[in-house]
Each structure stands twice: as C-alpha cells, then as structure tokens.
Structure 1
Amino acid sequence: MMEFIQEIKNRNEVLFYFGQVCLWFGVVFLLLSAISSLKIYGISAWYKPFKFAISLGVYSWTMAWYCHYLPNFNLSLFNWTVVVLWSFELIYITLQASKGQLSHYNLSTPVYTILYGLMAIAATVVTLYTAYVGFLFFKNDFPMLPTYYLWAIRLGIVLFVIFSFEGFAMGSRLNHSVGALNDNSNLWIIAWSKTVGDLRVAHFIGMHALQILPILSFYFLKDTKLTIELALIYGLLSISTLIQALQGKSFLKSFS
C-alpha cells in the first residue's frame, strides 16, 4: 500500500497532496459526526462533508494515477482546475454543516442560491474536464498498457461522467428522494432511504466505476472481453437503481 501511495505522489504531487488533505479532513468530519449534535434532515450535519471529502480525495488520487498515462496533456491546468473547484465545494459544504444548514438544495436566500448554483457549475466543469480526459484515452494509443486495463479506464470514465450528471436529477428537484422530502435512514453515514426512492444510490454506484472497473480488470479479470462485459453489467446495475429510485422504491428495502 505504501508503495502505491508513493507512486501516486511520484505521478502527480499536486493532486496527491490535495487528495491527502481531503482524506484527512474526512477523518476530522467523521470524528465531528460522533461528537456533534448538529443534524440536518435527521442525520448528522457532518455526514455530507465527510462523504464529499472522501469522494474528492479518492477522485483526486484516481485522476493523478490516470492522467500520468496521457501524452502531451496540460497536467498543471487540470490539477489546479480540480483543486480550486473542489476546494470551493468542500469549503462551502463544511461551512454550511458547521451552521446546521443545507449546502445543496438551499435557495433560502439570494446568497445561498448563488453559491448553490456555483457548486453546480464547479461540478459541471470538473465532470466535463474528466470527460475530455476520457476522450483522450479513446483517441490515443497506449501500447504500454494492457488492453483490458485501458478499456476499464475508458469505460470507468464514461460511467463516471454519465452518473455525475445524474446529480442534476436531484438538483432540479431540490430533493434526493422520490416519495418524500430528502429522506434519510439511520444506516450510519450512507443514509440512503430505507422507505422511498433515493437518487443518490445510482449517483454513487455509477461514479465509482471510475475506480472499481480498472481495479477489477487489472487485478482479477485480465481480459478485455470480460472487462467490457463487466462494464455493461455495472452500467445496467447503475441504471436499474436509478429506475428503481424514480419509481419511488427503496434500494435498501429490496434486501430486507
């Protein structure tokens, strides 16, 4: 593990250190969720910044790893776009959590409305930039990479982009639930609804194809056909959870 972490640092120090900071903040937010009484929609106000900090940290380390393979890529521009925009998102989410107020879906004042809109713009820019990285992986040849691993990266990015934009289904509704108002369960940090449809499920599953597909392909499948089949199955799983949520049905209730 230490060799892997050192390799991330060697490949991209900027995203390595930014990701590290995000992950450490995630630990702090987790501790705050245990000691703070602040709640939003029935769960700790610190769950959201925790989840975002971990997610942004993992994304940063993942892209630090992948972008290293790209020839003639403006790494500095990508790095600082990610750092600036993700920092804005995490800082605003954290400030709102510290006040026990919503960051997402908060249109209660003109200032909050503008900041919420800026978060949407920031997420859109990073997602489109990630899509451009995916385009470069399709456009260029990478003879030093196993074909199955290359396809896992390509398809992982495709699913990440699609289900990142699925977040607009929540933003347009100002609600992550279908059948209730921002319903959460007491399922520790994940907090997906146990009673109604939850659009966060597909968002989470689809976006983390960015890490899951390449890991499974590189270490276990080691086959291009199996990698593509896995990506199709994974994509169908993500779509099915989205359809289920839109029908107002709980993903978690399916297993109870």
Structure 2
Amino acid sequence: MTTMTLPAVTRANPSVFTQLTAAALALLFITLLWSLVDPRLLDDVPVWMKPAKFSLSFVVHFATLALITAALSPASRKSRLIGVAGAVMAVAFLTEMAYLFLQAAQAEHSHFNLSTPFHFMAYQVMGLGAVLLIAMPILVAHVARRETGLGAGTRAGIWWGALVSFGLTLVVAGYMSNGTGHFVGTPSPGAATIPFLGWSAEVGDLRPAHFLSLHALQLLPLIGLWADRTGRPARIIPAAATVYALITFGVFAQALMGLPLIRL
C-alpha cells in the first residue's frame, strides 16, 4: 500500500472523501473559534464541545477513506460503489452537522432529546445518518478488497476494519441510542472525568465502547499494512479483528455494570 500524507492525497486524488475531510476540518476550526466568543455551558460542558468532537471524528473518518481511495488504481477510484458511498456520506454528514450546530446555537441537547415532535424526528434522522456513515465504508472496502495493487494483508485489514466497525457500532450505538443517555448510573456533581475525552471516571459510560467500535476502521488496516511490510500472513487479520471485538465488548460490558473505564 502506497504511503501518502493527506496533502499528497489532496493533490493526487481530489476525491469526495478529501473534500469531506477538508469540510470537517473547516467545521472543527469554526467550532473552536466560536467557542472563544460563546462561553455558554450545557451540563457544565461548553455548548460547542459536541460539534467540535464530531467534527474531529469526521476528520479522522473521511481522511481514512481518502487515504484508502488514494491507494487504489484510477479505475477503482472511479467505481460506482465509491461514488455512491461518497454521495450518501456527504448528505449524512452535512445533515448531522447542521443539526448539531443548530442545537449548540440554542444551547440544547442534540442527542437523547425527544422533547418535541421536531426533536424526535431529527433524532431519528440522525440515527439513520449514523448508520449510513458506518455502512458506506463497506462499499469502499469491497472495492479495495479486489484491488490487486494492494497487499493481501492491507486488503484484509480494510475489509475487516469496515465490517467490524459497522457491526460493533450497530450494537453499541444502537443500545445507547435506545436509552436516555450514555451513563450507566448517575455521576455526582463535579465528578471526575477522563481529561479531554470527558468520559466518566465515576460511573459506567458507554462512550469508550462506542469509540472503540468506530475506530476499527483505522486500526485493522494499519495492522494489515504492517503485516504486508513485515511478511506476516494475511490470516492474522481475522484473528486481530476477533481480539478487537472481544476487547470492545469487554469495555461495553464493564460500562453496563456501572463501572468506569478508569476510576479517578
């Protein structure tokens, strides 16, 4: 697999995923800048923190897909599957971020907010968009899986990364979205949290498992690339995917028992 930096991808492969990466970076910059002049809090957290975190997550998500598509042959990059994936993800991304910005501007919750028919409908649309955003990389991975220019380990890593991320996220995020919040238990006022991430260090928190489920898409392709460069067989990828899934389910079960990832 060809190693490319994101600027190189932008020059060599100005795909929809590169453009989406740039858009997410722009939104991240806007949220950080806006937070400097809007100090309002929601549940003791700056109102623009959630849009900022989502923007950063989208930067990683789309940059990963931009790097994958940049490593494909020109014919594969023009695949209809990649075009469909890019278009669907662009609509889902813009819809999701528009609602997050709207709710932050009003200092209202975007998630678990069913207070009015509008908020109920918007939350359902966000859920559908989230499913599409984790499902569409499977189309990209399917194209990459047939790419003879990539090593066997890299192809396996991309394929298993997309599948595992989709499956784990459906379970963890699906469970979380059907509840009333991401905590299992009630944290006391001013309770300790893990720095920057904001995960509870006092009660169970479903977000660490959600984080792990999303980022199989990054880790497993890297393991595949490492396998190709070190001469390891591609069959280690399914084994790595299994271990990763077990770790994620372990963190998920820990949260369901009301235990924090790390107690501070």
Question: Alignment RMSD, CA only?
Answer: 2.7
**Which of 244, 247, 252 is residue 234 of structure 1 equivalent to?**
244
Match of 1:13 in 2: 15
Instruction: State the AA in 1 paired with 2:154.
Output: Y
Distance 1:182 1:75 in 2: 47
Distance 1:219 1:14 in 2: 27
Deviates more, 1:57-66 or 1:190-199: 57-66
Q: 1:198 to 1:170 in 2, by over 3 A?
A: same
Match of 1:85 in 2: 92
Match of 2:28 in 1: 26
1:117 maps onto 2:127 in alignment: no
Match of 2:5 in 1: 4
Q: Is the 8 A contact 1:12 1:65 kept in 2?
A: no
**Which of 57, 79, 84 is residue 55 of structure 1 equivalent to?**
57
Q: Which runs of 4+ in 1 moved over 6 A?
A: 181-184
Distance 2:4 2:47 in 1: 35
Q: 1:244 to 1:155 in 2, by over 3 A?
A: same
Q: 1:152 to 1:3 in 2, by over 3 A?
A: closer
Distance 1:3 1:66 in 2: 10
Q: Is the 8 A contact 2:85 2:140 kept in 1?
A: no
Distance 2:124 2:199 in 1: 24
Distance 2:193 2:39 in 1: 15
Q: Is the 8 A contact 1:47 1:189 kept in 2?
A: no
1:172 maps onto 2:178 in alignment: yes
Q: Quote how far apart the aligned CAs of 1:95 are.
A: 1.6
Q: Which runs of 5+ in 1 are unaligned?
A: none
Q: Quote how far apart the aligned CAs of 1:87 are.
A: 0.7
Q: 1:188 to 1:30 in 2, by over 3 A?
A: farther
Deviates more, 1:37-46 or 1:89-98: 37-46
Q: Which runs of 5+ in 2 are unaligned?
A: none
**Which of 181, 193, 198 is residue 200 of structure 2 equivalent to?**
193
Query: TM-score, structure 2 length as denominator?
Result: 0.84
Instruction: State the AA in 1 paired with 2:105.
Output: S
Match of 1:106 in 2: 113
**Count of residues paired in the alignment:** 251
Distance 1:168 1:206 in 2: 12
Distance 1:167 1:185 in 2: 24
Match of 1:156 in 2: 161
Q: Is the 8 A contact 1:196 1:250 kept in 2?
A: yes
Q: 1:151 to 1:23 in 2, by over 3 A?
A: same
Q: Quote how far apart the aligned CAs of 1:124 are.
A: 1.8
Q: Is the 8 A contact 1:156 1:231 kept in 2?
A: yes
